[in-house]
Amino acid sequence: MAIFIFFSVISSATASDWLYAKTSDILFQCRLRRADGTYLYTPDASSSYGAQWTRDFAYMLDNAGDIFVGNSTLSLTLEGAVRATLAGQRQDGCMPDRVQADGTAVYGPGSVSSPFADHAWDNQPFAALLVAAYVKAVGPTSGNPFLCSVESSLRKALSFQNISKEGLVYNDDVRPNCTYGFTDTVRKTGNLLFTSLVTYDAAMRLHALLLEAKCGDPAWYSAIASGIQGGLGTLCDPSTGMYYAASVGCRQIDVWGSLYAVHLNISTPAASLRIVNFIAANASKIFQRGQVRHLVDPEVWEQCIAGPCPSPGTYQNGAYWATPLAWALPALSRYGQQALAHSLLNDTLTNFIANGVNECVDGNYAGVKDYVASATNVYGARKYLLSQK
């Protein structure tokens, strides 16, 4: 597989101006106007995904909340879009994978008529993270009353999660559901790494926000997080220190999930350093044009949930994505790999400016154009790196 190395260095001012303008434009262009005049936020500005995906919207708002609230056109549509996701919650607590323009909630990834499964296990924590991102963006004066008004729905959502005796989110191997939306074609079963980490992240954020807002039961959320933290070691690969994606199906080293664990400070400093050192030592097998592979090259996923896996090197089976840079770059930077983090950011921006903001890339392959999470998550990662100088 070719490794692309970019020798140009973008000036800080040029990168800042370009990325802010591009991210703002994509956020405007990805809006989907509904019949009642309100808007949803779709995952791309090229009309490939015609609905509001819960996890994509959460990533957008969490990483580019300042762009939303800094523009009156975007900020006026924001609360309605968040409420549209929450309105799709099922009676059993399951949150939507996405919401269509007509308000129809869809729970399972795949087509509306033929979903891969009943639901995805990350729908629930990403709905919670969406609310947390909204509160962070608009501030406590506006955000806390909103949070308190929807807290019971969020608790019902996280109560829907199937928690194993080890404390992790569990996906049945006989009748599996989808796990994490950016690997929703992949059949990960048993105890799940990434979905457990998303649930941990959501629970910890809600715990802190509810303490501040003085509503709900913050201790209930911290108990969920503690259980996940206690069980995470069961997924650790002893030879590398990295984490497996799952304990049964696709028990493979998960690059995105391992870096997310470092970012969340859920592991000990020694365990986090071991992960970061493994990533740095294998950088040529993990990064391309600054972007990140799910697995260490040349590995591909062992099983997929709805027929054959995507071709190796494409989409969720070997392509390189910008989305995880939101947590990968901070994780690398905090554990002694600041130069690598800045180099990856520069390579990503160089690629974006030259070739556009794509969903994912690999060689001549490129995913959906003007993909919002690619832009917003790099925007958020860059803000973090600049804050550490």
The full set of domains in the chain, from first to last, is 12-387 (1.50.10.10)
pLDDT in tens, 369-387: 999 999 999 999 999 999 9
DSSP states of 231-299 as a string?
HGGGGB-TTTSPBBSBSSTT--B-HHHHHHHHHTT-S-HHHHHHHHHHHHHTGGGTEETTEEESS-TT-
What average pLDDT score do residues 123-127 get?
Answer: 98
pLDDT at 8: 46
CA-wise closest residue to 20 among 68, 52, 62: 68
pLDDT at 13: 67
**Residue 389 pLDDT grade (very low, low, confident, very high; cuts 50, 70, 90):** confident
Instruction: For residue 65, give every residue at least 6 positions away whose Cβ sits within 8 Å of its Cβ, in sequence order, or none.
Output: 133, 134, 136, 137
DSSP-assigned beta bridge partners for residue 366:
361
What is the three-class DSSP state of 320? strand
pLDDT value of position 47: 87
Residue 9 has pLDDT above 80, yes or no: no
pLDDT category at 286 given cuts 50, 70, 90 is very high
What's the pLDDT tens digit per position in 295-314?
Answer: 999 999 999 998 899 999 99
Whether residue 57 has pLDDT greater than 80: yes
pLDDT, tens digit, 9 for 90 and up, residues 228-280? 999 999 999 999 999 999 999 999 999 999 999 999 999 999 999 999 999 99
Of the listed ranges 69-73, 215-219, 232-236, 385-389, the least confidently predicted one is 385-389
* H or E segment and range at residue 190: strand 190-191
Position 179 scores a pLDDT of: 98
Is the CB of residue 352 less than 8 Å from the CB of residue 291?
A: no
Question: What tens digit of pLDDT does each residue of 171-198 get?
Answer: 999 999 999 999 999 999 999 999 999 9
Reply yes or no on whether the pLDDT at 58 is more than 50.
Answer: yes
Per-residue confidence (pLDDT) for residue 255, from 0 to 100: 99
pLDDT at 96 over 60: yes
Mean pLDDT along residues 19-48: 95
How much of the chain is helix, strand and coil, in % rounded to 5? 50, 15, 35
In angstroms, the first-to-last Cα distance of the chain is 34
